[in-house]
Each structure stands twice: as C-alpha cells, then as structure tokens.
Structure 1
Amino acid sequence: MPYFCDQFSFTYRLMPQSIHFIAIGGSVMHNLAISLQQAGHTVTGSDDVIYEPSHTRLSQHQLLPTELGWFPDRIQAGLDAVIVGMHARPDNPELLRAQELKLPIFSLPAYIYQHSQQKQRIVIAGSHGKTTITAMLMHVLTFHNRAFDYLVGTTLDGYESTVRLSAQAPLIVIEGDAYASSPLDPTPKFLNYQPHIALISGIAWDHVSIYPTWDRYVDQFEELAEAMPKAGILIFDEDDNMLDIIGQKERTDITKLPYQPHPSKIIDGQTYLLPRRGDKIPVPVFGEHNMKNIAAAMTVCDRIGITEEQFYAAIPTFKAVPHRLEQVIERNGKRLFRDFAYAPAKVEATTAAVRAQFPGNSVVAVAELHAVNLIPAFLEEYRQTMDKANQAAVFINVAGFSADERALVNIDAVRTTFGRPDLTVLTDAEALRQYLLDKRDKATIFLLMSSGSFGDLNFTELVDALL
C-alpha cells in the first residue's frame, strides 16, 4: 500500500489537506473523520450502510454522505489522502479509482502512524484488557493535565471522540487490535504503529474467524515483539506463559518489563489497592484481571514520567469502561452487571471476578455465543469458564444465524464442552428473559456477558422486572 513520504507529517501541521474516507461509517473511521475536520481539513466520505451512532454523529458534523453507495467520480486527482476502512472490499469502485489516479491510500492505522511519526507511540495490544488499560492511561494523563493524542476502541465517559490527533501533543496512546488493517493490508493493525512502548496484556485465542488456529494468532504478537524498534520497551503480563516466551526474545536492544496483579484487598464488596507506602486506595474496578490492568497502566506511566503517587491520586476517579464489568444497577439488595466478555478467557475472568467480589451472593451468569464461537475447536476453549457461577446459561441467538451458521448449533455439545451438566442453553430472547425472571427470587447477582445484544433484549424492562 502506498504511503506519504515523511514530509506528510510536517505538511499536516502547516496547511489543510483534502481527505476522502472510503467506508466513513465505521466506528473509528467516523471519529477520525470528525477529528480531521475539526483540525481544519476538508473531509468527504462515502459508505453503503451507516449505523448508529455513526449516522447521527456524521450528520451533526455535516459529514453524512448525501446518498449511500460508492461513487468513483468523487475521487479526484486533487485529493491529498484516501483512507480506506475494512468495510470496503478490494474491488471497491472508489478504491480502484484512487489506485488508478495513484493517490496516496492509507489504512486507518497507517494514517495514524504517518501523523504520529514525531510522537512517542504507546500501543496497548493483547487479547483482553486493551480498552481498559488504554482508558486508564488516558484518565491519568488527563487528570494531570498532560497533552496527548489517542485512539481507543469505544466511546469513554468524558471524551467526545474515540480519536484525537493534534500537532502539539508529544505522545499518542493507541489501542492496537489484531484485526486486519484494510482490504489491501491483511496485517494486524498493531503492526502498523511501530510503537516505542508496546504492552501485550495477555494472549488467549481470539478472532477465530481471522486466525483459525492458535499458532497463527500467537504469531501476530511474536511479530509485534520482534518488530520493536531499538531502545523500545516491551511490557507484558508475567503470569501469562505465552507472553513470558515473547518477553524473553533475544533482543538485548529493548527493555522488557513484566508485571503482576497489583496487590489488593476486598472489604465489604469494595476493592482497595495496597500500595507499598501509605493507606489503601479504593478503586471502581475489581477482579484479578483488573488488578493486572492497573499494574500494566502503572508500568507504562512510570516510563512516561508519571510517578506512583500521581497514579494513585488519579485512579480512584477512573470510570469503568462502558460494558466492561459495568454495574448497570443495584436495587433491593440485588445487582445487575453487563460485560463485553465473549471470548473464553474473558468469560472466565469476569465470572471469577464477580464471585470473588461478592462471595456470599448467588450468581447467575449468562454468556452469549455467536456462530464463530461454536466452531468445535474454539468451543472447547470454554470448558469450565463459568464454574464460579452458582447457575449458568449460554444464549445463542439462532434467529440471527444464516443456514450454514445454524448447522453449527449443537446444544448437547455446548453443554458438554462447558463441563456443566446443569448448564442451560437458550436460543431465543424470550426464553432468555423468562429464564432470568425465574431466577429473580433466589439470585442476588445477575451477570450478562456478550459483545452483542442478547437478541435485542429490552434491558430497561428486564431491570424493572428483575430488581
């Protein structure tokens, strides 16, 4: 994929650019488009489908395409950059026209890298914890009025956008995922950023639709570790066996920093950090995985001039990332939590965290599995992941499956694989609703884990009925 010469970053600071987005409706793409417009650039874009909240936000900034579809005549020779999102295909008419005109074409991560060549780049990668660690870093930097740019995968409280690019900020914090960079660049996004500081939070097989084997998935993180620039810093979870191997790569020219869960204590349902000096510190997150996230963020902060004391001053006011072990409501002695957990390691960590935080409560846990999770080799990874719950269920929204996807649904196999004979397997939203209502007199904690919507379950109505 062609890129700008090094002069691009310098030019970005001096004069407005004309930039066109192919697939502008993407969750990060539309945020980048708005950010660039606010920086004074002329931004246009197109897409064949745009969902909320992208539709409303693009409309508010007068960036919503006048009609949906691809229009190669919009690609003119005067464009300074074309940014192409993953929703586009390699044969996209606008992309083909840009190639014909030999315009500078970027994937989103390649564009972010070009803009941040003169900044210190901090990339948070891994199978879990990426968003939370990135959000913690952003919160601490904001708390102490440090100038920084960022790219994070979801909207956070207190931040209007998921992307900020500026000419002045000396560093950028990037959540780096393992999805392909663009239709023309199949490498993981995090390999484009060339980080000065790379943090790998943990490796557990994920994105099985892209990486059909464990080895192929792990290879991507090994490439990230091996591609670290000289004098780079690699931070990794010391308890993760795979990361220990990556962290011990024969690279004497980089600094390797392992971390362990931050010492903590649970008192009456509240988690406190136990610093080396001083009093215990209350934090709004809990679970061993979050204590690892805190330790990871602290390790990064130490390398960019944020002291332990400064970190501890900021972290009590950190707001948990939406849908990351988020307490939706507490009422009448009962609690409802939602979590983005969908991969096996996430389901296990979240269920264990709730059990440890509320040991005397009866926990009902529900995990939604998508079609890709039901591939037999991957399904096996879920074994015993929900053992810490008193009662457990798996929800599979069969109504949203294609015929081929429905062929993967084997309820007996799901129950056997999870290793719980009492596991309930539900295949429609109404059955899920009734299952939860049947538990309301006995359960005190409801934990709902999904990257989806549980078949568009009406949560407002559910909460009122349950609690």
Structure 2
Amino acid sequence: MSQSTPSRKIHFISIGGSIMHNLAIELKRKGFVITGSDDEIYEPSRTRLASHNLLPAEIGWYPEKITADLEAVVLGMHARQDNPELLKAQELGLKVYSYPEFIFEQSKDKQRIVVAGSHGKTSITSMILHVLRYNQRKCNYLVGAQLEGFDNMVRLDEDSPMIVVEGDEYLTSPLDPTPKFLHYHPHIALISGIAWDHFNVFPTWEAYVKQFELLADSLPKAGVIIFDETDDMLDVIGQKERPDVTKIPYEAHPYKVVNGQTFLKTKTQGDVPLLVFGEHNMKNISGARIVCERLGITDEEFYRAIQAFKGASNRLELLGKNDQTIIYKDFAHAPSKVEATTRAVKEQFPKRKLVACAELHTFSSLNKTFMSQYRDKFEAADVAVVFYNPQTIEHKRLEPITEQDIRTAFRRNDLHIFTDSESLQEFLRSQSWQNANLLMMSSGTFGGLDLKTLAAEIVG
C-alpha cells in the first residue's frame, strides 16, 4: 500500500479525531481519494478538514458511503462496534485498519522509532523531529501536537528512511483492545516514565504497567530500549535481560537556572541556552539526544538545534507576561504531569508566588478511586486551585464528587475549589499579581473560560 494513484479510495470512520483527521489530510496530499464520517467534529479538526475539502457534508453515519471499490477503511477509537458504516464494511469484506495498523503498513520498510510513556512522549517526539528537521534529515512522523514549522501532524513520504511515532498506550480501536503502540513494531523504543493513567481501561496499576513491559518485550534482535532510569518501575522494565536488545538508561540532563533562564551544562559545547525549562524537560532532552545519536546526529548538531526548540503546542505555552507576571497554560491533565509542570514553573521563578490551577476533566481524574493519585502533587504551588464541571461528571456517567473528596484526595486544606468558570475568573482577577505567576493546567476548557482574554487583563 505504499504507492498511490488518484483512483485509490479510503474511507475514515471517525474522521474528526486528532490523529485521524491529520492522517486523512496526509493521504489526500499523497493522491488518495478520501471520504469520512463522524457524529461530532470539534475544532481544530473541523476547520482543518474544511480547508482540505474533507469535512463531511453531514454529521452522522451513512452506510451508503461504504462501497465495494474502497481499498480500505480506517476505523477511529471514537466509533462503536455496532457502527453502521463498520458493519457495512465487514459485510462487504473490506480491509478495516485502525490508524496504528495503517501507519505500520505504510512504514514496513522503514526504521521505526516509537516514543512512549505516561508523560513526556509528545515533548520528546517533538524535540526529535525539531532536531532532525533543523539538521535537514528526512523522516516520516506521527505526533500528537501541532509543532512550529510542521503543517501537519502526520507525514508518510515514500522516500523517508525512518518514521518517528508518538506511541500511545490507549486502546487501538473498538475492535482491538490492545495499546496502539504495540502495532508499530519499533526498532528503537523510548519509554519516558510510567504513572498510572486511563483508569477506565486499566483499572489497576499492574495492568497499566504491563502494557509498557509488553512494548519493551516486543523489540526485535538488535533493537534498542531507551528509558528514564529515575523511574523505579520503568528501571525494572528497562533493565530486564532481553537477548540482543541494547539498553540505554538516561536521567535529567545537567542544567542550571540563571535569572529565569535555563542552560544545559555540556562538556563539549559549554552552557547551551534553552527556550524550555523544568526538570521534566531536562529528562526529555536527555532521551531525545540519545535517540538522535542513534539516528546519526552529533552532539554539536543536537545542541545547536535544541536551543531553538520552543516546545510542543499546549505544553507550558506562554499566554502573557509583563515585568511582574508570567501566565502559562499547559495540557497537564494527569497527576504526574500536574506535579512536574507546577514544579518546573516554581523552579524557574523561585522568588515569585505561583498560583496553579488544575481542571479535573478526564475520566480518571474525576473518579473517586483514582483521585487519591493527586496527593501532594500541588506542593510547589503557593496558591492551589482546582476546577471541575459537574456537567462533565454527568456526561461521563460518574459518581458525583464533593469538595471534601477533592480536598482529601489532594491532601491540601487550603485548596480553592470552583465548579463554574465565572467564579474562577473572578477569583483569579482578584489576586495580587505583583511578583506572581499563573499556571493553568487542563485538557479541557475550564468551562469555556477565555484564557487569552483573562491573561491580557491580568498582565495589562
């Protein structure tokens, strides 16, 4: 399926997904005829699909779109097993791929590098791609965030010798309950850290950890596993004996912070200034450097390139600043990410008050049993704020939670808790922003709060 001609047709069931719509756009660029359906399409997928004339004319599922002349159907995780288009495809005996299976089909003859982990995988993948592009090395890729200088999150050129994939541990498709990353069959696997997530799919810590062990065990002879040795559980998985597999542990790259600026301390290139910061990013840089080294990038080439890396979209993204205040937003939505991001901002600006706000938005974070994983994760914040929308709990059909549940879980009595965006906004406006920073963390929208407008008000 590597050569394409304009007559080749592929249909996407759930075309609105973040990777699905990017894959659809890339295949159209390659000359495939693309159709798709979905029962809900949000931004930015909607606008991006529309700009490539791929937005379905009507929302919903239409079995008549599934015809015998389709070369393949790509099935997204958002669809259900009884999806009428899927049933029609099965009835016609069409080839149905999940997107990880399809990506593998397109990269069978390439060197495959997969970056996995509960946290850091998007940033590490982004760093690797930035360094490769900076040094004009050709590669295919799949990454879960928009990167500066990259017009799409998926690239599948025939002549690229390798593909770098952000490997997600979440389920593959309605027909396949195995993690996505097991379908890429990597030659090089990097695992950045393991912190329990996806409680709805992996109800125990052991079940969650097992998925990463399966990934490590799947490496072929002459394969390479690169892992964060400061993560106790990951160190056990990484150090396990595997015949003919190279083990490369890493830890945070040596660094220093001077007047709100982070520098890498290197033996050959001196102090290297960075645009990103935080110990978690120093670990990410270490992992990315090792991968790049395996791909033929010298230290000099790596350090020159990494200075210009601005970070992936929604990762410690600057919303506004003045002489007294800096405001960031971050995608942090799991306990380990909340802890790492909060610590990073406090370490970068130790003399400033830090107001940190996290939205409980995911299935896991709104689950009473899982919520205790947030214990002490807000220690670096001077003012700690939690926001959740009761409607989200209803929508996810979860047991209602109380303020006391949250206070107990976070183990912080001075926690400020809000359930509507207006009250949260008023609280933030009323704070003194003299020598103080604000950090907003969520995979949601804080109930529709306009963060850019709020940031503009605060910094003036």
For this structure pair, what is the TM-score category when the shorter chain's length is used for normalisation? over 0.9
Check the 8 A contact 1:262/1:273 in 2, yes or no: yes
Question: Within 2, Cα distance between the matches of 1:158 and 1:466?
Answer: 30
- Is 1:409–2:409 an aligned residue pair? no
Deviation (angstroms), 1:105: 0.9
Residue identity (%): 53
Question: Within 2, Cα distance between the matches of 1:394 and 1:331?
Answer: 25
One-letter code aligned to 2:147: L
Question: Within 2, Cα distance between the matches of 1:414 and 1:53?
Answer: 32
Paired position in structure 2 for 1:298: 289
- Structure 2 counterparts to residues 263-274 of structure 1, below 5 A: 263-274=254-265
Question: Within 2, Cα distance between the matches of 1:38 and 1:202?
Answer: 35
What do residues 55-109 of structure 1 show as CA deviations (whole Å, max 9, x unaligned)? 2222221212222222222211121111111111111111111111111110000
What do residues 2-39 of structure 1 show as CA deviations (whole Å, max 9, x unaligned)? xxxxxx34xx3678522111111111111111111111
Paired position in structure 2 for 1:440: 432
Question: Within 2, Cα distance between the matches of 1:349 and 1:252?
Answer: 34
| Aligned-partner SS, 2:147 | coil
| Aligned-partner SS, 2:58 | coil
Deviation (angstroms), 1:457: 0.6
Deviation (angstroms), 1:414: 1.2
- Structure 2 counterparts to residues 22-421 of structure 1, below 5 A: 22-370=13-361, 372-402=364-394, 405=397, 407-421=399-413
Give the alignment's Cα RMSD to 1 decimal: 1.5
Check the 8 A contact 1:399/1:428 in 2, yes or no: no
| Aligned-partner SS, 1:181 | strand
Check the 8 A contact 2:73/2:96 in 1, yes or no: yes
Question: Within 1, Cα distance between the matches of 2:247 and 2:5?
Answer: 38
Paired position in structure 2 for 1:429: 421
Deviation (angstroms), 1:359: 0.8
Question: Within 1, Cα distance between the matches of 2:90 and 2:214?
Answer: 29
Question: Within 1, Cα distance between the matches of 2:80 and 2:409?
Answer: 36
Deviation (angstroms), 1:441: 4.2
What do residues 366-418 of structure 1 show as CA deviations (whole Å, max 9, x unaligned)? 11112531323311111111111111111112244317757431211211221
| Aligned-partner SS, 1:281 | strand
Which deviates more, 129-138 or 314-323?
314-323
C-alpha change, 1:427 and 1:37, in structure 2 (3 Å) is same
Deviation (angstroms), 1:54: 1.6
What do residues 157-187 of structure 1 show as CA deviations (whole Å, max 9, x unaligned)? 1111110111100000100111111111111
One-letter code aligned to 1:45: G
Which deviates more, 418-427 or 163-172?
418-427
Question: Within 2, Cα distance between the matches of 1:66 and 1:137?
Answer: 38
Deviation (angstroms), 1:277: 1.8
Check the 8 A contact 1:440/1:466 in 2, yes or no: no
Aligned residue pair count: 458
One-letter code aligned to 2:378: M
Question: Within 1, Cα distance between the matches of 2:331 and 2:164?
Answer: 22
Query: What runs of 5+ residues in structure 1 fail to find an aligned partner?
Result: 1-7
| Aligned-partner SS, 1:296 | helix
Deviation (angstroms), 1:461: 2.7
TM-score normalised to structure 2 length: 0.96
One-letter code aligned to 1:368: E
One-letter code aligned to 2:150: Y
